[in-house]
Each structure stands twice: as structure tokens, then as C-alpha cells.
Amino acid sequence: MTPRDDSDPNRNRWSDLDRPPLNAVALRRALVREGGLWSDVQVVARTGSTNSDLVALATDGKAEEGAVLVAEEQDAGRGRLDRRWTAPARSGLFFSVLLKPAGVPVERWGWLPLLTGVAMATGLSRSAGVDIALKWPNDLLVTVEGAERKAGGILAERAGPEAVVVGVGINVTLRADELPVPGAGSLALAGATTTDRDTILRTVLRSFEQWFEKWRSVGGDPAASGLQDTYAAACATLGREVRAELPGGKSITGEAVAVDGDGRLVLGTAEGVQQPVGAGDIVHLRPAGSPGSPGSPGSPGSPGSPEGE
């Protein structure tokens, strides 16, 4: 893939010395190894959407399993429900990976966004020293000045009958005056011990490889792989009063009581019914254990915050 040429001389690769470009050669050297998951790492200066690009490459047979596509900047980044967002060049990590979960029944592929969340939380804790909470199904939350903020998102898309592309967007060095909405956050604003994107990307991709191989080795069984329990322990949605906004304009309100074996969020309603939710937006109505607080500022769909790759 050939990066687009920016005609603006003020937008060259060294225009912001606080945000150096990624080192693609070093990333490939660190991540691509015989017998490992990652087969290639490509970094482009700018593109519309890494997910769209990688889905197209996979569909055309031009990308192998384990291909990683990273963009320093996206101008048509997409999230769930086709939401759009942008961020300053080199202010975050915007990448997509191509997976072929051979041996895993298709009905368990819905766990991939949740697996990605666990892998990102683990990797970010190790590399940046930031505690990440997971909001079902695809948000990465940080705490900034005591408030819950959305710093990342995940988007999974099919790329043919045997492949899935998973995209991740993480705000790394986004500054307070660059926040698109009050509910957005970044690793830097959450007190990260490092914002070196090369280090962070290597660590989160290694974490992803460990979780993916463990999950795939047991046929995608979320219990046997430890994924279900680990996700539940890190999920900020569980134990809270939430509103599930469903396709078709319907909604359900209740307490999030569990994530079931299919990766669905189970709500306990006021009528005493346990209702599983497999798709839709989840709005946190109040923190767990709170007698009643305003909705979470990190709820999905905040314009301009990472909702996907």
C-alpha cells in the first residue's frame, strides 16, 4: 500500500516532535517471527480507514493471516454503526489485524471484540501503566481526574467466509485542548508512564497474540480459555444500571448482571427477567453501587472518540 502524499509542508513526518513517527522496520523485527501469529506489519502515513483497507486486501487475496496495518492518521476512521471520527496525526494508535480463526466455530467469533478488549487492557497496563476498564462490547475506558473517559474502541468486520478484520483505535497523546468531546480521554491524560507508541504497539500486539492463540487452541471456548472470567473481571458495565439501545429504536433498561457464554450482555430487568443483549449501544446510567448518578461520559457513540479502528 502506498501512503498518500500530503502537499501541506507543515504536515510532514517531523511536524510535531512530541509525536515521532512509528518505526515500521523495528516493529516488524520485534513482532514477525516464524511460528508466530503476526506475518507482516505495514505502517502508512495516512489513509481513510485501516479496517476498510485490510478488508479489501483480504478479499482480494493480497493479505495473509496475521497482517497488521497501522496508520499514522486516518481521515475516514469508522466505528460501530458506521460512526466517523478523526484525531491529530500520530496522536494515537490506529491499526487493524487480519485473523482466520480456523478450528473455532463461527458462532464463537463474536468473542473476538471482547478478546481484543482484554488483550488491549492487559497490554496497556504492562506498557503504559494505565488501568483500563472495558465497557461492553467494544470500549476502552480510562480515569481522568476521577471521571470515566473513553480512550479507545474496537471494531470487528468479516472479510469473507473464513476471515475477520479487527480494528483498534487508542488515543495516546491527545491533549485536553484536542479532546473532541468532554467524554473522550487519552493515555497521557490518564497519567501513562510512557507514551512511546512503538513500545505500546509491540506490547498490545504480543498480548493479543497470547490471548488469541489460547482462545483458538480450545476451539474458542471462552470458559476454558479463561477469557470469559477475565473479561468479566475487567468489565465496567457489570453491576451497573444500564440502558441497551437496540436496533429498530427499542431499548431495555436493567442491571448488567453477566456476560454469557455467547459474549452477550445479560440484563436483569425490573420485571425479574434476565434478558441477553447481543447487539446495540449500552449507556451507563450510574456507577456500580451508586444510588443514582448521571450517565457515563464515556458512553459509546461520542462523536470523535475512538469507536473502532
Hey, which residues does 147 pair with through a beta bridge?
144
Whether residue 168 is found in the same domain as residue 139: yes
Hey, which residues does 41 pair with through a beta bridge?
68
Q: Are 55 and 47 in contact (CB under 8 A)?
A: no
Q: Output the pLDDT for position 279.
A: 87
The answer to whether residue 269 sits within a structural domain is yes
Model-level pTM? 0.88
Query: Which cell goes with 216?
Result: 483458538
Whether residue 208 is found in the same domain as residue 106: yes
Whether residue 210 is found in the same domain as residue 280: no
Whether residue 227 is found in the same domain as residue 254: no
Region 107-112: mean pLDDT is 97
d(CA 229, CA 218): 15
Whether residue 91 is found in the same domain as residue 154: yes
E strand or H helix at 121, and its extent?
helix 112-128
Q: Output the pLDDT for position 111.
A: 98
Residues 6+ apart with CB under 8 A from 12: 6
- Percent pLDDT > 70 in the chain is 84
Q: Output the pLDDT for position 298.
A: 33
Whether residue 155 is found in the same domain as residue 80: yes
- Determine the number of helices (DSSP H) and then strands (DSSP E) in the chain: 5, 14
With vertex at residue 160, the alpha carbon angle to CA 119 and CA 58, rounded to the nearest 5 degrees, is 75
Hey, which residues does 68 pair with through a beta bridge?
41, 97
d(CA 195, CA 120): 15
Region 61-77: mean pLDDT is 92
Q: Are 171 and 130 in contact (CB under 8 A)?
A: no
pLDDT tier for residue 3 given thresholds of 50, 70 and 90: very low
Whether residue 257 is found in the same domain as residue 117: no
Whether residue 174 is found in the same domain as residue 278: no
**What is the tally of structural domains in the chain?**
2
| Cell numbers 446495540: residue | 280
Whether residue 218 is found in the same domain as residue 263: no
Whether residue 128 is found in the same domain as residue 57: yes
Confidence check: pLDDT of 289 > 70: no
The CATH code of the domain that includes 209 is 3.30.930.10
C-alpha distance from residue 169 to each of 51, 119, 231, 233, 260 (Å): 11, 13, 19, 22, 26
Confidence check: pLDDT of 75 > 50: yes
**DSSP E strands, 27-144:** 40-44, 67-71, 77-78, 84-85, 92-99, 133-135, 139-144
The answer to whether residue 214 sits within a structural domain is yes
What would the pLDDT profile of 117-168 be if each residue is shown by its tens digit?
Answer: 999 999 999 999 999 999 999 999 999 999 999 999 999 999 999 999 999 9
Confidence check: pLDDT of 213 > 90: yes
Number of residues that this document lists for the chain = 309
Confidence check: pLDDT of 219 > 80: yes
**85: how many CB neighbours lie within 10 A of its CB?**
21
Max Cα separation, the chain? 62
Confidence check: pLDDT of 176 > 50: yes
The answer to whether residue 292 sits within a structural domain is no
Confidence check: pLDDT of 77 > 80: no
d(CA 232, CA 82): 27
d(CA 186, CA 190): 6
Q: Output the pLDDT for position 17.
A: 73
- Tell me the residue range of the domain where 15 lies: 9-232
Confidence check: pLDDT of 292 > 90: no
Whether residue 208 is found in the same domain as residue 254: no
The CATH code of the domain that includes 278 is 2.30.30.100
Whether residue 271 is found in the same domain as residue 191: no
Region 47-72: mean pLDDT is 97
What would the pLDDT profile of 237-287 be if each residue is shown by its tens digit?
Answer: 999 999 999 988 999 999 999 999 999 999 999 999 999 999 889 999 976
